[in-house]
Structure 1
Amino acid sequence: MKKTFKLSHPKLAVARHVDAIKHEVKKYIKRERNKALSEGVDYWDFDCRFGADEASSEVIHLSEISKYITQAEADQVESFYLEIMAKPGYRNQKAD
């Protein structure tokens, strides 16, 4: 998902629109995690980027997406860019 979200909506309050954006992101992550894994892959991992636009976006952790969206709402920005790309994940084996 590579998308620029606008925080203004003609009919929705900003708080409700932010909730809708968070729901869309969670739905996308759930849909990607439910896809079949390739041979030898342990889980789906995600590369995430967040910023004012694509050029100025920075790498963030998947668990921080909601925090960054809330901060964008608090800063009253017009829009923000969010990129979430699924990639195969491999678990490291623990040493005995």
Structure 2
Amino acid sequence: MRKTYLLAIEGKNRDRLLDAAKHDIRKYIKRERAKALPAGVDFWDFDCKCGASEATASAVPFADLISSVDALVKEGGDQFYVEVVRKHGHRAARPTAAGSEADAQ
């Protein structure tokens, strides 16, 4: 999803437009997560970019996407750009706790 959301539309409340944009982003993520996983893939991960425009968008962690949108809106912009691209995710093995057990004894 690559989309520019406008927040200054005549006759529309700015806060309602922001809420609708956040809902649209969350709905897209939910729809993409529901798709079947290919063999060898553990989960769907996302590459995200956010900025005032497409040219100024910078990469943000997926967990911070909505908070970065809020930060952009607090700066007073009339629009913001969001890019969310699905990618394959692979779980990493947790480190063993053997080293911490040896330290405890």
The normalised TM-score by structure 2 is: 0.84
Report which stretch shifted further, 1-10 or 40-49.
1-10
Q: CA deviation at 1:73?
A: 2.0
Alignment partners' CA distance in 1, 2:48 and 2:20: 19
Q: Does structure 2 retain, via aligned residues, the 8 Å contact 1:18–1:69? A: no
Alignment partners' CA distance in 1, 2:92 and 2:73: 37
Q: Gaps spanning 5+ residues in structure 2: where?
A: 97-105
Could you report, residue by residue, the CA deviation over 1:39-91 in whole angstroms, capped at 9, with x for unpaired residues? 01000000000112222211101121211221222222021111000000000
1:77 aligns to what? 77
Percent identity over paired residues = 39
Q: Does structure 2 retain, via aligned residues, the 8 Å contact 1:48–1:60? A: yes
Compare CA radii of gyration and give the structure with the larger one: 2
Aligned AA (1:35): K
Q: Gaps spanning 5+ residues in structure 1: where?
A: none
Alignment partners' CA distance in 2, 1:95 and 1:81: 38
Structure 1 vs Structure 2 CA RMSD: 1.2
1:44 aligns to what? 44
Q: Does 1:62 align with 2:62?
A: yes
- Deviating beyond 2 angstroms after TM superposition, the runs of 4 or more aligned structure 1 residues are 9-12
